[in-house]
Amino acid sequence: MTAAARRIANHAEPVSHRPDDEFVPLRTAARLLGTTETALRHICGRRLAEQGIARQIRNGQSGKLSWHIHRSFDPRLVTREGQEVDESATEILLHATQSQRDRASAKVRVLTAYRELLASGKPISSHIDSFISEHQDRSGLDRLSYRQLREWARHAPPADQPQRLLAFFIDRRGGDQRSGEATGRGCHPQAWAEFERVYLTPQRWSIAKAWRHVQALAKANGWAWPGQRHVIRLASERIDPSRRCMAREGQDAWRSRFGYKLQQHPDAWGAGEMWIGDHARLDFFARRRVNGVWSEIRLWLTAWLDWRTRKLVGWWIDVDPSADTIRSALHAAIKSDGGPPRRITIDNGKDYASYANVGITKQQRRELIRRGEDWAQRTQGLGLFGMLGIDVHFAAPYNHDGKSRIERFFGTVHGEFCKSFDSYCGARPGDVPRHGLPVDRLPTVDEVRARFPRFAQWYNDRCEHGIEDLADDAGRRLSPSEAMSQWRTTRSIMPRPESLALLLHRWEQPRSVGKLGIGVRIAGRTVYYGQDCPELRPLAGRKASVHVTYEPDDMSRIFVYDDQFRFLCMAPANGLHGGASPMSRAAIASAMKRKRDHERAVRDTLRDGHMSIMTAADIAREEQEKIDADRRAERARQGIGVENTDQQLRIVRTPVDDELEAVQRAEIRKAAGAEAMNESDLDFSQVAPPAADEPEEESDLDFSGVSFGSSEPDDEDGVLGGMDFWEAINGH
């Protein structure tokens, strides 16, 4: 027995004989008492019948016995005036929803037609099947059967009572189950609003948890609240998937599944005009040696993909993605393709958006955008991309659709290349079982790099794909390589491709020259370069900035350019010859000579009126400009040796094209050694000669404890034997 039925049974009071008209039908009593017919029927047969409160009364129309309960059983069965509560047809229709009335009207029409069939005298057995099929399609009712028609005809009121007949077919079992409109024990609007408030949140409450929460509030406030299964059905009908995804999974998930897609025309960019760059982690384990011990690691792929043809133009595989891997992949792409593209699309990561690549920091770019300024105009010619004449486009942050073509390429890499390794691990932990290979059987980084070109060749030559816009006019599928060769109309070339090696150095932000030279931040500490470089001394203490670049694999030197990207010098790190390392006599003599030549040149420039406003670096640059002008004129007369093709050629010049010879001379001097330097290395032809009465410069070094003129041969440290020290000083 339920709790409601137990309370009802305990509330009953025994009475004597009562007339039948004081009893309320079981169905009406269950509705007024807020319980079920089953619970009332259970206590009627056990307890209420013995007390005379419940009895079975025969229905006047059908003649069927049904339980009735006396009005004295509960005050809710009696009105305030003591009159019997009659559940009239008008009251039932008043509280019914429109969908309930429509469904009841359809049943009335079917019942009326069935009664007409019975009155016609036709044999039912031969006409019932066609009757059910016809009226079921016409009325839209489900599961219409002959048994159901007989029950309706037996219990329904006559046709001359249309309101009672319509009320007979109103379904009052807890409200409109399909539309969710509540009657009786349906769903209260405030209860549903509370359910949506706790369910449509980033906390992602389950329907069961939200239902229990609202159930407790419904009991406290007297709201109508249906069962959990009914709420699940209401949630699927009332809450559309787009709204559910936005509220529970966030904006990024909503954009991926329901966001408005802007389709770009396939010919928006021609073949070879725009590249897309990105990183992807490879789904297999490799090995590398760390402190003499092999350890497993997952490698990263940096790739550049042509937007129109999907051709892989450049790539690089390394331990971690960084600005260095971007430059390495770009270097490979430009070498294989012959020149840079007009435009690139990259993400907002710090490695792609670094100063070395873009010519502006990410914070500075955001500040310019906030102020409404054009950051691309401010950075024209700066950074690696700007020097190569490439327009940079940043994809929308956290939007995979912004680079969907290269993301799809990475899917092919994961499915074809990564799964060819025995150490395949999947994208996430637990996707596949552990490979179980020992570390010494995992591929090394070099082995992976050696295998990837075969995959790249297969990918670029593959024409078995489903890309609709990668086909010719006849509908034949083209491979990326075929599409590039057929559709390309403009080809970029570099007149001096060897300058690409200089551009691919790591470029730092503009620096000023101090008394210690130029400071470069490396691995968390500042390293100073060029303290002894005469080309940098005139710039010390000035506001003028210089451009600094270096090779990541060789941090012993940096390359210094002025604000017009004219090469100044190759500055070594300070203190390379100090400390406990032995210094040979030749090294001492060479250092002494460099210092005296530089100081003499600076003093001479200060004596001359015209030269007093020019530094040694300015004089050297003037001479270099004359040499470069003659060199450019000679190249213009000879022409540029490029192959004649049907494609239009786009000449890509870089700011460092004319500085190659200067850099090469600096490298040759470093390779030859400091002792090979002489006065011809610095051109001071326009500097006034020293005065005749100029006193001899005294040495700043004390050689009192050094023995000179020894007859012993040269030792391993390079100390001169048998040579006069002053001859070494003078470079003889």
Total Cβ atoms within 10 A of residue 122: 12
Token duo for residue 143: 């599961």
Total Cβ atoms within 10 A of residue 661: 13
What letter does residue 596 receive in the DSSP assignment? Answer: H
Residue 731 pLDDT > 60, yes or no? Answer: no
The SS3 assignment for 525 reads strand
Determine the Cα–Cα distance for residues 717 and 177; give it in Å rounded to an integer.
Answer: 98
Residue 17 pLDDT > 80, yes or no? Answer: no
**Contact (CB, 8 A) for 670 and 513:** no
Residue 342 pLDDT > 50, yes or no? Answer: yes
Residue 68 pLDDT > 50, yes or no? Answer: yes
116-146, pLDDT tens digit by residue? 888 888 888 888 888 888 888 888 887 788 8
Determine the Cα–Cα distance for residues 722 and 709; give it in Å rounded to an integer.
Answer: 5
Token duo for residue 724: 């006069």
**Strand ranges (E), 59-146:** 65-70
Residue 62 pLDDT > 80, yes or no? Answer: no
The confidence score (pLDDT) of residue 391 equals: 83
Determine the Cα–Cα distance for residues 174 and 345; give it in Å rounded to an integer.
Answer: 59
Determine the Cα–Cα distance for residues 718 and 706; give it in Å rounded to an integer.
Answer: 15
The SS3 assignment for 463 reads coil
Pick 311 or 348 by higher pLDDT. 311
Determine the Cα–Cα distance for residues 10 and 46; give it in Å rounded to an integer.
Answer: 12
User: b/e for 641-660, b at 16 or more Cβ within 10 A?
Assistant: eeeeeeeebbebebbbbbbe
The full DSSP string for 363-380 is: HHHHHHHHTT--HHHHTT
Residue with tokens 């047969």, as numbered in its chain? 45
475-484, pLDDT tens digit by residue? 888 999 999 8
Specify burial of residue 42 (Cβ count, 10 A radius: 0-12, 13-18, 19+).
middle
Pick 29 or 670 by higher pLDDT. 29
Pick 541 or 217 by higher pLDDT. 217
Residue among 445, 557, 492, 201 nearest 334 (CA) = 492
Pick 497 or 586 by higher pLDDT. 497
Total Cβ atoms within 10 A of residue 73: 24
CA angle 549, 553, 556 (to 5 degrees): 65
Residue 687 pLDDT > 50, yes or no? Answer: no
Q: Does pTM top 0.85 for this prediction?
A: no
Q: What value does the mean pLDDT of the chain take?
A: 75
Q: Mean of the pLDDT values across residues 227-248?
A: 92
Residue with tokens 């604000």, as numbered in its chain? 563
Provide the pLDDT confidence category of residue 155 given band limits of 50, 70 and 90: confident
Provide the pLDDT confidence category of residue 410 given band limits of 50, 70 and 90: very high
The SS3 assignment for 172 reads coil
Determine the Cα–Cα distance for residues 350 and 175; give it in Å rounded to an integer.
Answer: 59
Q: What is the number of helices (H) and of strands (E) in the chain?
A: 27, 18
Amino acid in position 354:
S
Residue among 728, 727, 731, 718 nearest 678 (CA) = 731
The SS3 assignment for 302 reads strand
- Phi/psi for 504 (5° steps) reads -80, 5
Q: Return the minimum-mean-pLDDT range out of 291-295, 379-383, 589-593, 678-682.
A: 678-682
The confidence score (pLDDT) of residue 676 equals: 42
632-657, pLDDT tens digit by residue? 676 666 554 334 445 566 666 676 66
Q: Return the minimum-mean-pLDDT range out of 159-173, 309-323, 325-339.
A: 159-173
Residue 269 pLDDT > 70, yes or no? Answer: yes
The confidence score (pLDDT) of residue 379 equals: 64
Pick 498 or 527 by higher pLDDT. 527
Q: Return the minimum-mean-pLDDT range out of 539-543, 545-549, 652-656.
A: 652-656
Token duo for residue 632: 């450019």
Provide the pLDDT confidence category of residue 535 given band limits of 50, 70 and 90: confident
Residue 343 pLDDT > 60, yes or no? Answer: yes
Pick 223 or 248 by higher pLDDT. 248
